[in-house]
Every structure is written in C-alpha cells, then in structure tokens.
C-alpha cells in the first residue's frame, strides 16, 4: 500500500478507536466512580481464574444451559479468539509489515484454521440471527436493531476473509477486498460499547470479580447505608455487572415471576440500572426506583436464584433486587399491609406465623422432644413452620422418628425465634439483625460447643433443620452478626444413613421430586433427597428439575405477602408435577410443602400425596408421627 493509503488507514483507525473509547471510557468512568464494595475480597485467586477459564474460555455455562444456541455462541467466541491474530496481521499488512505469510512458515496452516472457524462463525451467527429475529423467543424481546447490525457485521467480516482464498493478494481486487474487510472491522469496533456487545470487553472481568458465594447479600456498612436508594448507593460490582448484560434472556426465561404473568423481568432490573447510570451517574441523589426500575417488580421476586444461576456473564441479580428492597423498606417507601403486619408479628412473637412462644413449648412437651444440653450429636433447629405449622410439625416429627430409629442423639433449643429469612430477603435488615442476635445468644446459653470459634465466642456445632431457608440464613447470613454455626439440611443427614433406613415394605410408588430452590441452587443438594426416596419408590423428575427446577413461589418472603398478580407460581408448579402422573409428590422444604399443598388442591380434585423425604422414610418405620402434630 502506498503512503497516502497508509495515512488514510491510520486516520481511520484513530477515528474508530476514538469513538470506541468515547463510549467505553464513559462506562469505565461510571464504574470506577461508583461506591466501592466494602465486603469484596479478591483472594483466593485460583477459583476465580478457574471460573473464567471454564465459563469464558470453554464457554461451559453457555453450552450447558442452552446446548444448540450455546454452541453457536461458543463458535462465534472461539472464532473471534482465532481471528485476533489474523486481524493484527491484517492491519500490519496495510502498513507493509505482515508477520504471517500465506505461502510459507506456519502461516498457511493458521490461515486454514481461521478459515474453518470463519465458516463456523458465519453459520453460527446466521443461526443466532434467525433465532432472534424469525423464531423470536419471548425472552429475547424487545428486539434490538443493534443486534441485527452486529450480526451483519460479524457475517461480513467472515465472508470478506473467506473471499481472500479466491482473490489474489496484492492486485486491485485484492486491495479492494482488504479495504472492505478493514472498513467493516473499524466500523464494528465503536459499535461495541454502545450495545449489548459491551459484554465482549467487560464480561470476563465481571465473571472474575463475582461475589464469592451464590446470591450473597452484601452487608450494610455504617449508619448511612440503607441499601440501594439512589445512584450514590450503587457499588462498583453492581455497575460493572449492569454494563455486562448480553440481553440473552436466560434470566427471563427461567424467572418464575415472569413465567406467571408478573411484571418482574430480571433482565430489565439489570438494564434499568444501566440506563439509570447512563442518565444520572453514580453520584446522583435521584431515586433508583422510578423511571427505570419498578418497586412492584422488585417485590415480586421469590429469590429463587434461577436468574443468577443461568446468567452466562456473571451477573448476580439478587443482591441488586434485595438491595432495592432494602432501600424501600429501610426508608419507609414500601407500603404493603401484609409486609408491615409480618414485620410487626416477627417483632412481637418472634415467629412469622404469629403464634405465642408457649405453643412451641407445649408442642415440645407433648411430643417428648429432648432439649439440647451440649451432649447430643445434633441440635435440631425447628424453625417457624416446624414449631407452629401443622404440616411443618408432621415433617419435624417424622424426622425425629427417623433419627431415633437410627440412634442419632439430638435436642432442641429451649427458646428459638425465626431465623430471619423473610425479613432478610424482604430488606428489613434491622429486624433480621435483632432475630439473628437473639438466636445466637440462645445458642451460646444452650452450650453449642464444637471446634472453632469466632471473636464473639459462638462455636460451631452441627445443627440440622427441615428448612433450607433456615439452613441458608443460619449458615451464611448470620455470619454478618458473629454467627459461626455449622448446619445441614435433613436430607443430607438422611442420605448419609440411607443404608440403615428400613427398606420399602410396600409396592414401588412413582414419586416426582420437587427441587427446593434454597436446597438446590443455593446449596447444590440435588442427589441426596433423591437417594433417600429412591429406597421407597421410582423417582421421576418433572420437565424443570435440578438446576432448572421451578420455584414453589414461597421464597423471598412472598409466602406471607398475600395474593399475587397474574397466575400463582405454586399453581404453575403443581400443574407440572401432576402432569408427570406420579402418585407421590416428594418435597424437602416446609415452604414448598405449604405452597404445593395449595397448588395441588387447586389443580385437581384427586391430587397426588404430598410428602417430605423425612415422612417417606418414617412411613417405612411404621411411625404415627402425623397423629401427634397438634
């Protein structure tokens, strides 16, 4: 290329880079100016590196969650990685200094490999475009014109590269093709930061910097931190994740609220945060809930975690949603009669159902439950539903019967308040803290001794609970208030002793297992409850199971907030379970048990039997626990 052509090329590159940085630099400035995440810790590094290698390099999560579209996306990504060297060589050729030759060295092999990937990318991007603009799954809506433009540019890059294998390099046609490829490339670059394809730049960093546990709710810091109220409360991680959204709709596709006709769309929560930051910035006093983010949507979330689990670019939706709830609750802007009544009930009675503590004492005495004195193997955490709800009591007594059969010693606390799960998920941090500290004091007084202790002297000792919500709250959220209590779910305990459980004495019933969100996605427990009930029947899974399990609708405090808009989530799930034709619906959570009981009754006049895994095991022992649950 002659020197005027090189000058034009240099100017074109400068203009392209300028417009790219003009948009990307603004986003980067917003992220850097946002409030630091006080609880963020970078170490250990290796798990973060491993996650990036798997989710970014191997595209493992993308392919696993949507195999065919995921593979197409993976080929586009891998093709871009291969083309990085081709692109650098392409620009170097324009300045007369190429380092790869089509006729010598390892250049021919590399160009051939790039050509193979170019074909794969062209086919993949065409398929993805057809899916987005012709098939049009609802979770990809609204359609974005920029997506079509990007798809065309990627396709054009691949075609103009492949054409070089038929057009001689160096003659007029060859240079015309070179300039066509260059023009597409330099036009493509500044388009990236203004569209969802910003994720090409920031998502590897987002995945690397994810909070270190699933759906981790960050602590409030200082007396002036009330949650996500305005732009000044948005943290750097939240801002980074807001600019990483690829608008793939995976979160929307699996959201139980959105699936049942509610306005909540996890994708729009993240995009709304991005739109807010673009307009008002990270130092603004303008309320977050308003122009771009809906309070009604924020309080429709069941905190099931499906959105976060599905996201391929490391976005953690729940800390944002709970943060918005915190801001609304802690400033008195959330006006909900059910929520207000529930908070008052928790403050006065210490349990979410509103029963006096004496009812728990009577239940313990009537059923001869031992009190924990420090000598038993386990402290049995009863929880609100295990202490007061008739069906929850049946589950608890079934577990007691199985533990007695196995010779496992246990005791219950003399006094116990709600773990604080509903208050925590609904954003009432003050009430949650009061409940957590009160319970931790009871744990100290009741001699929960074990290995390891924190600065407050609360030592870790194994506890067991029938409620996955309590397990999560006690095991993780209480740490914010000095807790260091080891706790497991009863299905994990029973699975370890499954060989000692009595065999099935009757016929092999068909059992469909419903995965509790706080047991599955939050804790990664999928096989253990299935291993237990497999001794007593044939286990079948509904269409949405395990990591893709569908919520019962009771999480996030919603079980206690009255009627829902749209179709009830528990009805949607109950219909799916009934459709399997199983004679028994097996659950492992008292919240799920309560929600599914109502849903099954509304689905059919002859619903399948609903049992907890502990009840299924206890039935083989021949116990009569259900009769003593009052």
Which ranges of 331-389 would DSSP assign to H, the alpha helix? Answer: 337-349, 357-366, 383-388
The residue ranges of every structural domain in the chain are 3-33+66-136+145-194, 231-330, 350-494, 500-628
For the chain, the distance separating the N- and C-terminal CA atoms, rounded to the nearest angstrom, is 90
Which residue stretches of the chain have pLDDT < 50? Answer: 449-460, 623-630
Which ranges of 449-568 would DSSP assign to H, the alpha helix? Answer: 468-475, 490-496, 527-533
What is the per-residue pLDDT for 624?
44
> Residues 6 or more apart from 212 whose CB is under 8 A from it?
41, 47
Would you put residue 142 in left (φ > 0), alpha (ψ -120 to 50) or beta? Answer: beta
What is the per-residue pLDDT for 196?
84
d(CA 457, CA 106): 65
What is the per-residue pLDDT for 39?
86
Are the CB atoms for 620 and 503 separated by under 8 Å? yes
Same fold, 231-330 and 500-628: no
What is the per-residue pLDDT for 604?
93
Question: How many CB atoms lie under 10 A from the CB of residue 41?
Answer: 8
d(CA 197, CA 447): 55
CA angle, residues 516, 521, 525, in degrees to nearest 5: 70
**Beta strand 463-465 with 509-513: parallel, antiparallel or unpaired?**
unpaired
> Residues 6 or more apart from 554 whose CB is under 8 A from it?
302, 570, 591, 592, 594, 595
CATH number of 500-628: 3.40.50
Q: How many helices (H) and strands (E) does the chain have?
A: 27, 8
Count how many residues are written for the chain. 630
Strand runs labelled E in 508-594: 509-513, 537-540, 584-587
What is the per-residue pLDDT for 506?
62
What is the per-residue pLDDT for 98?
86
What is the per-residue pLDDT for 226?
93
CATH number of 231-330: 1.10.1060.10
């Amino acid at each position: 290329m002659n020197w005027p052509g090189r000058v034009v090329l240099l100017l074109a590159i400068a203009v392209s880079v300028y417009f790219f940085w003009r948009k990307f630099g603004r986003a980067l400035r917003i992220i850097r100016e946002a409030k630091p995440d006080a609880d963020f810790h970078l170490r250990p590094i290796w798990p973060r590196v491993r996650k990036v290698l798997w989710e970014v390099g191997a595209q493992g999560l993308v392919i696993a969650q949507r195999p065919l579209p995921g593979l197409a996306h993976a080929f586009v990504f891998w093709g871009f990685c291969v083309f990085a060297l081709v692109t650098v060589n392409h620009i170097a050729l324009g300045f007369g200094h190429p380092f790869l030759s089509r006729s010598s060295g390892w250049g021919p092999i590399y160009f051939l490999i790039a050509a193979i990937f170019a074909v794969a990318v062209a086919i993949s991007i065409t398929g993805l475009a057809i899916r987005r603009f012709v098939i049009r799954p609802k979770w990809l809506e609204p359609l974005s014109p920029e997506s079509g433009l990007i798809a065309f540019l990627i396709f054009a890059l691949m075609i103009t590269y492949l054409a070089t294998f038929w057009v001689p390099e160096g003659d007029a046609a060859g240079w015309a093709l070179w300039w066509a490829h260059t023009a597409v490339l330099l036009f493509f670059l500044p388009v990236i930061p203004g569209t969802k394809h910003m994720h090409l730049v920031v998502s590897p960093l987002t995945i690397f910097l994810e909070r270190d546990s699933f759906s981790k709710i960050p602590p409030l810091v200082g007396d002036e931190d009330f949650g996500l109220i305005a732009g000044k409360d948005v943290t750097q991680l939240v801002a980074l994740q807001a600019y990483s959204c690829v608008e793939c709709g995976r979160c929307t596709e699996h959201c139980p609220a959105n699936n049942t006709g509610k306005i909540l769309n996890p994708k729009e929560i993240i995009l709304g945060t991005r739109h807010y930051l673009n307009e008002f910035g990270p130092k603004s006093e303008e309320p977050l809930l308003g122009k771009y983010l809906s309070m009604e949507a924020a309080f429709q979330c069941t905190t099931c975690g499906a959105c976060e689990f599905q996201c391929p670019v490391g976005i953690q939706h729940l800390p944002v949603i709970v943060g918005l709830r915190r801001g609304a609750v802690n400033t008195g802007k959330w006006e909900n009669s059910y929520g207000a009544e529930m908070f008052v009930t928790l403050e006065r009675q210490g349990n979410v159902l509103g029963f006096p503590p004496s009812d728990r004492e009577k239940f313990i005495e009537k059923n001869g439950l031992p009190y924990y004195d420090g000598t038993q193997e386990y402290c049995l955490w009863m929880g609100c539903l295990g202490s007061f709800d008739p069906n929850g009591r049946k589950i608890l007594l079934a577990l007691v019967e199985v533990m007695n059969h196995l010779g496992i010693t246990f005791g219950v606390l003399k006094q116990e308040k709600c773990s604080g799960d509903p208050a925590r998920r609904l954003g009432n941090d003050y009430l949650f803290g009061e409940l957590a500290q009160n319970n931790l004091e009871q744990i100290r007084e009741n001699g929960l001794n074990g290995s390891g202790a924190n600065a407050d002297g609360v030592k870790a000792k194994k506890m067991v609970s029938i409620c996955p919500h309590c397990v999560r709250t006690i095991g993780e959220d209480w740490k914010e208030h000095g807790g260091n209590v080891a706790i497991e779910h009863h299905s994990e305990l029973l699975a370890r002793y499954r060989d000692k459980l009595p065999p099935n004495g009757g016929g092999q019933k068909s059992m469909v297992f419903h995965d509790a969100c706080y047991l599955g996605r939050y804790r990664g427990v999928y096989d253990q409850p299935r291993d237990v009930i497999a001794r007593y029947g044939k286990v079948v899974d509904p269409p949405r199971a395990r990591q893709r399990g569908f919520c019962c609708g009771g999480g996030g405090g919603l079980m206690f907030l009255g009627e829902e808009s749209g179709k009830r989530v528990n009805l949607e799930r109950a219909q799916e379970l009934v459709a399997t034709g199983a004679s028994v619906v097996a659950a492992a959570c008292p919240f799920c048990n309560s929600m599914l009981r109502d849903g099954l009754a509304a689905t059919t006049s002859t619903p399948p039997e609903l049992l907890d895994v502990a009840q299924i095991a206890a039935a083989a022992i021949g116990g009569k626990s259900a009769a003593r649950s009052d």
